[in-house]
Chains A and B, each alone.
Chain A
Amino acid sequence: MKPAPFRYHRPESLGDALALLSENPDAKVIAGGQSLGPMMNMRLVTPAELIDLNAIAGMDAISESGNFVEIGALACHHAVASSSLVKTRCPLLAEAAGTIGHYAIRMRGTLGGSLAHADPAAQLPLVASTLGAEIVVAGKRGARRIAARDFFVSLMTTALSPDEIIVAVRFPKVAPGERHAYVQFSRRSGDFAIVAVACVLFDKKLRIGIGGAEDKPLVFDDFRSIDPVSLAKSVRDAVNPAENPRVPAVFRKELVEVLTRRAVQKCLSSS
């Protein structure tokens, strides 16, 4: 349970970090280390170079710009969950971020790290996909924005190029009258969810994000009615979970249906 040897770099600017990354294509970038750390301790990953972003100042800011809340990639989950700006402007994000791992994990784990790690059951990829967030990345060829729906490619695989680093994420602000719900099921507190459901209701239209069912978050928004029972059945039919010896596909489908129904009911009954 000790990581393999690596060379350690602590750049103090984004430019230096990007230069290091393009010189060392096999380097891993570390922010909070709450996912990479366990993987390195278990030697599932053995990078020769580790580029630590924590000395880069200002990359954890949370601010408003127009219709977006922009959150720096180094903002930790606790900061996101407890920010009054996020709580009022992106309440779904604040609620979901507050359910990640445990208190001490939320103190170090970061928004950018969670998205780059791209665990298909994680809260933030699901919320980013459901809300239609944009991921701001920087690379040696410059900066670009990637829509969350295009960002998550498959299991722990994203649209990031090897030389790119996530800089910030732009979440659309909640519209007046918009309602939301986030529900998840895991066997133990703090575990990744087996299935998680994020739901947004606006102007009688529903958008439903499903995490944990397939290899990336799924978003559904083409519903004929908003009846929770029939709608939950249709989402169940639309997902294709893989068989897993510990979590049978039929169990995940069942969870998708039950949690979708609860999330929609919660949305419809909240004010």
Chain B
Amino acid sequence: MLELELKVNGERYAVRAEPRKLLSDVLREDCRLTGTHVGCEHGVCGACTVLVDGRPSRACLIYAVQMQGHDVTTIEAVAKDGELSPLQQALHEAHGLQCGFCTAGIVMTFEAYLKENPHPTEEEVREVLSGNLCRCTGYHNIVRAILRASGATA
């Protein structure tokens, strides 16, 4: 067991974990931040996507021990003071979620992507969204919501 100090959503967490413990599991079990969902655990589904130093990353393909000295951001930090982010608000308005399991990963991916490319085309949105599987298959409304959040009319 190692003593780890992690910085998640700007707060420090002291955690005891084996080196093999995945960031996704440490976030959920040790930091009690259960908004990050775990789907496939091999990097395919995108449900566990969080930001590492602002960059979307699969939390199931990172060991928590690797995150010392880095900033991790999870879905819990996206809404500020109970106010949804524009992307979250757009997902709400455009009915961009059904069961919601994939939503956290989608929000984290696109919070970062829309900073890099604030006005993507629908094709670009779909290409990036292909990294996040929605088993309700509600992609049309998710795409619509992301385009709405980016200021495009959709």
Point out residues on A near B: beta carbons under 8 Å: 1-8, 10, 33-34, 37-38, 41-42, 50, 52, 54, 78, 101-105, 107-108, 188-190
Contacts and interface: CB of A to CB of B under 8 A. Distances in A.
22 contacts: A2-B22, A2-B25, A3-B20, A3-B22, A5-B18, A10-B65, A34-B58, A38-B43, A38-B61, A41-B22, A41-B41, A41-B42, A41-B61, A54-B66, A102-B128, A103-B131, A104-B49, A104-B57, A104-B109, A107-B57, A108-B52, A108-B58
Interface of B: 2, 18-20, 22, 25, 40-44, 46, 49, 52, 55-58, 60-63, 65-66, 109, 113, 127-128, 130-132
Given A1-B42, A3-B20, 13 more contacts: A1-B41, A1-B60, A5-B19, A5-B20, A6-B20, A34-B58, A38-B43, A41-B60, A50-B19, A101-B131, A103-B113, A108-B52, A190-B130
Nearest to A32: B61
Classify the secondary structure of B's interface with A. Answer: mixed
B42 A42 contact: yes
Q: Which 4 A-B pairs have the closest CB atoms?
A: A102-B131, A37-B61, A8-B19, A189-B130
> Which secondary structure dominates chain A's binding surface?
loop
Contacts, number: 88
B46 A102 contact: yes
Contacts of A8: 2, 19, 63, 65
A42 B44 CA distance: 13
Nearest to A37: B61
B61 A33 contact: yes
A33 B132 CA distance: 19
Contacts of B62: 33, 37, 108
